[in-house]
A and B are shown apart, each in its own frame.
With several copies, the nearest count.
Chain A
Amino acid sequence: MQLHEYQAKNILNKHNVPIPFGKVASSYLECEEIVKSVNGRSVIKAQVHAGGRGKAGGIKVVEGSEDAKKVAKEMLGSTLKTFQSGDTEFPINKVYVEEASDISRELYLALTMDFDEKCPVIIFSTEGGMNIEEVAEKTPDKIIKIHVNPLIGPSPYKIRNLLSQLNLGKKVSQQIFSIIQNLYEIFNSLDCTLIEINPLAVTENDKVLALDAKITIDDDSIFRHSDIKDLFDKTQMNQAELKALSSDLAYIKLDRGKVGCMVNGAGLAMATMDITIKAGTAPANFLDVGGSASEERIEEAYKIITSDRDVEIILVNLFGGILRCDVAAKGIINGFKNTNNSIPMVVVLRGTNSDDARLLLEKSDLDISFAEDLPSAAVEIRNKLGIS
């Protein structure tokens, strides 16, 4: 779950990570007031869940409150599309207004999970303010990593050794030392998968500030962070994906082809998508019902897939393990009854209770072709769509 910059900065502030003075605004009048109180150059930043806002026009520097009003009027209520966001247009409902800082240097600091080393990792670079993946590719030696023992936390000696390599001066190093410890505290206590401060700025008078802040929380941990759950901004998400999420389903809209895919398991999802391409078309979306879906969840899944107008045919590929195929069949039949659409389906059912499931589906009024396996499913799709 991603947080907005203003939410992330609020958390940073609570944990004594220094940030420039700033406030969030929902209207251009609020925005104007804030800039007045800043009394100088300010930065207005669109609060959207997309990286690369700057290049896309989502970050504007204003000289005074009049200017701020104008910029806020333009931004608020519009949408933003960045090179990182794909086709998605993100609505701008809030802007963050921040005092402009006199920056002498931009650094990069992030905490994330290193899945290969199986532990948290602190990533630091003197090349802040840029695309860090580009830095990693072109000048890998400019990226320093500290692996953190998750039971011990970040050892002070490791941070000290990192900082001593960089010659940032005693004053700046000491501030970064505390910032790293405080960020780890946030990372650990809030189950973050990512905290990224880019840039971590050094001002003209050697103060270190988090100029931008990106925080992502592990979705699987949300059950123990009820306060964080409330921070989630639903407007930033594709509505079908949101609906899926609320039913604990993983749905992804893909603007590629005509096949709606219902699967269980990520591996099978990927294999299924590969098969739609073999069938001469491509997936319109895919929905992973997960390991142990109930009848209701499957019904919801059916509704989400069929609400996608790109879908001309549905490929259901379920392998019962912890999921029971008969339960899935009932869910699909209920979905069909309650929406009454007539999108044809190709169905591959195997594993736990798949025979019962087939019987149930055969008795229903659904337009179904059964296939034994994925290659024959591909043939069925070709036939149904008239692809030669």
Chain B
Amino acid sequence: MSLLDKDSNKVLIQGLGRDGSFQAERCIEFGTKIVSGVHPTKAGKKFKQNIPIFGSVNEAVNETSPDIGLIFVPAPFAADAIIEQIDANISVIVCVTEGIPIADMVKVNEYLKGKKTRLIGPNCPGYLIPEKKLKVGIIPGSIVKPGNVGVVSRSGTLTYEAIVQLTKLGIGQSACVGIGGDPINGTSFVDVIDMFEEDENTEAIVMIGEIGGIKEQEAAERIKNSVSKPVVASIVGQTAPEGRRMGHAGAVITGKSALASEKINSLKDAGVVIADSPTEIGQKVKELLKIK
């Protein structure tokens, strides 16, 4: 996971309100090197006695050289925070914030083009590399285990669901990446699948998709053409009511390609093992790895 696993893995956290502070502590507990915080009104103070808080990302970057930025800034200010981190040349940005206006993310996405920064999210649980004790986001550290299965998911909570199953079966994870449920986000299934394909520590891939959009089909296409590792996938939303908003706009059935059945067919066609329910993911991976 060279794109997400930086040499130093130094993390900056922007937004140290209730959630940001709580989650920052969990990251530190897991072993993550949080080197600085950014908060408009807490500049000059310390987080957990020893982590300096700055008023701007630029100052934090100058003083503490983070590679990775983690954003908990409230939705109205989150797009600006992403741009602030892009402008400060942060390599990987994870934006956990949910509820960012679509128009803001469309503009951020356009602004990102041609830049070197990778954005994960928004509205995502971020990522975790168990072996490296690197947790950037909110995936519970207690459920993971170092190993060789890469997990990628649009849904935050289903990411955990899959991880729990794997860990219970004694199957560890090379990395777990939640790309987020928003319709406009920075990193797609294809991006993460490419990383897993290149990653030496990854032997198999778990992908959890949803109804809506065509991102799962794009992933199927990529898997078919250039992925050598075995993939287990599950698509949720088979029983979801058509045309209604399921908590986030990405999960609306907008056309035939958005249907679960269409997605499952594409994935099957790409040689992917399908878990009919996300509760069967662990078992499917176990079978797959035994067969191998």
Contacts and interface: CB of A to CB of B under 8 A. Distances in A.
**Does A touch B (CB under 8 Å) in the complex?**
yes
Interface of A: 113, 115-116, 118-120, 136, 149-152, 155-157, 160-161, 164, 188, 191, 193, 218, 220-221, 223-224, 250, 252, 254, 263-271, 273-275, 277-278, 282-283, 288, 290-292, 318-322, 324, 350-352, 373-375
A149 B98 CA distance: 24
A254 B242 CA distance: 11
Given A267-B157, A270-B246, A220 B100 contact: yes
A150 B84 CA distance: 16
Contacts, number: 197
Interface stretch (B104-112, B197-205, B263-271): B104-112
B213 A115 contact: yes
Contacts of B109: 118
B239 A321 contact: no
B103 A150 contact: yes
Contact of A270 (B56, B58, B251, B279): B251
Contacts of A350: 140, 143, 160-161, 164
B161 A268 contact: yes
B33 interface: no
22 contacts: A115-B249, A118-B184, A149-B110, A150-B107, A155-B84, A156-B77, A157-B56, A160-B40, A164-B40, A218-B103, A266-B181, A266-B210, A269-B246, A270-B238, A270-B246, A274-B236, A292-B19, A321-B125, A321-B140, A350-B161, A351-B140, A352-B26
B107 A157 contact: no
B246 A266 contact: yes
Given A221-B102, A221-B103, A268 B183 contact: no
A152 B111 contact: yes
Interface residues of B, number: 76
A288 B139 CA distance: 18
Contacts of B102: 113, 191, 193, 218, 220-221
Given A118-B106, A160-B56, A266-B155, A322 B23 contact: yes
Nearest to A156: B80
Interface string B228-257: 000000001111110011111111001100
B253 to A, nearest CB: 11
Given A118-B184, A269-B246, A152 B106 contact: no
B96 A322 contact: yes
